Amino acid sequence: MRDAAPVSTRPRVLPPNDPRQYDDLADEWWRPDGAFAMLHWLARARAALVPPASGQDALLVDLGCGAGLLAPHLVGKGYRHVGVDLTRSALVQAAAHGVTVLNGDATAVPLADRCADVVSAGELLEHLPDWRRAVAEACRLLRPGGLLVLDTLNDTLLARLVAVEIGERLPTVPRGIHDPRLFVDSRALVAEAARHGVELRLRGVRPAFGGTLAWLLRRMRATDRPRGAEPRIVPTWSTAVLYQGRGVKSG
């Protein structure tokens, strides 16, 4: 009798930005020191841009919500948190963290015009073949006076260097998760949001150097030590790499 063929334990290699990577990395989402660690840090910083809800039944729509990493940072702010994502394996985890989930495309969301008090698009636009459609959709969902918050990567050489060539070699960002051709020009983003009634204000952000270095050292040394504080995301003078946007819908 012939021996059974050995089962490969090597991860499959997928093209850059292939959404199936999120299935392969499904167990990483909620590991604070795992492959999506930086998404945890960014979720905290994004949530800080969201004020407490002004009324009852306030709705926050989280486009590309992934496994719902924003959810813990919204606790007590008074929103119903609805998350939209293509990846079912992530949505199962988002639902377990209290998010009402919709499996679908952020560029065609099955929700009514002007239904949302807040729309969040965290680390989503730079993964889309047409980010303009997602911006239009975010603005369609917002009620007049509603708030758009987002963060993304700029379409610059520096962003390619920092986020892909360096970032994807560190344990903070999964390798191959980005396709830099999809990175989002910050001026074009502001213009597109304005076309849809949202005046976006941008600011550059980055992980704090000291905290990130300490995190990297801890991460390299051991996995079973008690965790320290996670690195903070802090403002920086340039939007050339990573930036946040915040803007209110007119009307």
Ligand X SMILES: C[S@@+](CC[C@H](N)C(=O)[O-])C[C@H]1O[C@@H](n2cnc3c(N)ncnc32)[C@H](O)[C@@H]1O
Residues that bind ligand X (CB under 6 A): 19, 22, 39, 42-43, 64-66, 69, 84-87, 90, 105-107, 122-124, 127-128
Of 107 and 210, nearer to ligand X (C-beta) is 107
Q: Is 91 left (phi over 0), alpha (psi -120 to 50) or beta?
A: alpha
Q: How far is the CB of 109 from ligand X (least distance, A)?
A: 9
d(CA 69, CA 211): 20
Q: How far is the CB of 213 from ligand X (least distance, A)?
A: 23
d(CA 24, CA 78): 33
Of 6 and 162, nearer to ligand X (C-beta) is 162
Q: How far is the CB of 210 from ligand X (least distance, A)?
A: 23
Question: Token match 């239904």: residue?
Answer: 115
Q: How far is the CB of 6 from ligand X (least distance, A)?
A: 31
Q: What share of the chain is helix, strand, coil (3-state, %, to 5)?
A: 35, 25, 45
Question: Is 41 in contact with 72 (CB distance < 8 Å)?
Answer: no
In the bound state, the residue with its beta carbon closest to ligand X is 66
Of 117 and 123, nearer to ligand X (C-beta) is 123
Q: How far is the CB of 101 from ligand X (least distance, A)?
A: 11
d(CA 87, CA 160): 25
Of 32 and 210, nearer to ligand X (C-beta) is 32
Of 83 and 146, nearer to ligand X (C-beta) is 83
Residue 244 pairs in a beta bridge with 151, 203
